[in-house]
Amino acid sequence: MRVSAVLRLPLLALIGALVVIWEVDHWLPGLYAVVLGIWAVAAMLWLVAVLRGPVPWWGGWVSTGVDVLMILVLCLVSGGATAALLPVFFLLPIAVAFQDRPMLTALLGIGTATAYLAAWVVYSKRDDSVGLPDVVYTQFGFLLWGAVAMTALCVVLVRRQARVAKLQAVRRQLVSEAMQADERHNREVAENLHDGPLQTLLAARLDLDELQENNDDPALEVVRDALQQTAAALRSTVTQLHPQVLAQLGLTPALRELLRQFESRAHYEIDAELDDVGKPESQQLLYRAARELLANIYKHADATTVRVGLSRQGDRVVLTVSDDGKGFDPASVERYVADGHIGLGSLLARFDAMGGSLKVSSEEGHGTQVTVTSPPEPPLGKPAEIRT
């Protein structure tokens, strides 16, 4: 519908140019100018409407009907200009085919052929010297053939579009199931580490504390510090595999905790504007994105200020992470993936597969901003649909 709305304006310009270049006398020059002006104003308003947001399902039918009516009226109220305007009828079915509606394309094609013949009949009755040439019937047949061809093309496009949509839905489901399996695996590994090696280390440290009370050997302090560091590293690994605050409290508290840990690793100025977005279905994916982006800043950006924003916009959750670091060429992400560095590339693929997006805006020497948009989410407070 947007494509048709854009194509309509050059068509109007061509109609105006045809009349000026042809230098013909109009049958009703005042009415002709009024009709063309009304059509131009309506076309511009319609273009603004379709670009600003969704339009009713009947919008395409109405706009197409107006096109046929206006061209027919222009032909009827013009004199010699009829010969210049009649070829416009051949262009209408092509424009409508962009709307992917076979029935509309078929009706318009038949209607266009009929209107073309009607315009010639009226013109021949008004001017007996012209009559109704045999070529008109040939052109009428071409218009009918064009209607059939455009309708068939539209049917093929609609079927392919449905097939692509089905494949995208299957892909989205497979990615979702893979992510759920990955999350289950991470949770199991985290639980095993917490209940097994971590508890063993803590027990060993307690035994060592008791041993230190009766023995002042400095080597025991070294061993105790090693146990303490190992236990802290295990806790960090467990938190990365399955952050409890994310599962229990939701995305916003989890991001606050993630930023607190990030700030403790280096001296950054953190500017965070985090709205409460509850527990969106894609919170695991958004949390991974935030963690990966912050890790990239720590490793590569040489930044001093980091800004993080989180908000809900309609049915999407939007996460923004920006820094004042050295920046990079966003086109290099594909090269990083080819070289085996799949962190950011993996995020791009996952968000694309799930119906979200990840956009990188960066320039060398001017920092980086990454805008992450979640897949469509159910309304806040409404329980998610159970998928089986």
pLDDT, position 1: 76
Residue 228 contacts residue 246 (beta carbons within 8 Å): no
Mean pLDDT of successive 10-residue stretches along the chain, which has 388 residues: 81 76 59 84 90 78 80 71 62 67 82 81 69 78 85 88 85 74 75 78 80 76 82 73 75 89 82 90 87 87 90 91 86 60 71 84 86 84 42
pLDDT, position 388: 30
Q: Name residues whose C-beta falls within 8 Å of residue 106's C-beta, 6 or more positions apart in sequence.
A: 147, 148, 151
pLDDT, position 266: 75
pTM of the predicted model, to two decimals? Answer: 0.56
* Secondary structure (DSSP) of 148-176: HHHHHHHHHHHHHHHHHHHHHHHHHHHHH
pLDDT, position 319: 94
* Secondary structure (DSSP) of 328-363: --TTHHHHHHHTT--HHHHHHHHHHHHT-EEEEEE-
Q: How many CB atoms lie within 10 A of CB 107?
A: 18
pLDDT, position 262: 86
Token look-up 């580490």 returns 193
Residue 343 bridge partners (DSSP): none
Name the token pair of 319: 């996460």
Domain 246-373, what architecture? 2-Layer Sandwich (3.30)
Domain limits of the chain? 2-132, 246-373
pLDDT, position 317: 93
pLDDT, position 387: 37
pLDDT, position 375: 87
Closest CA to 153 of 65, 94, 89: 94
CA distance 148 to 158: 15
Decide: helix, strand or coil at residue 101: coil
pLDDT, position 380: 61
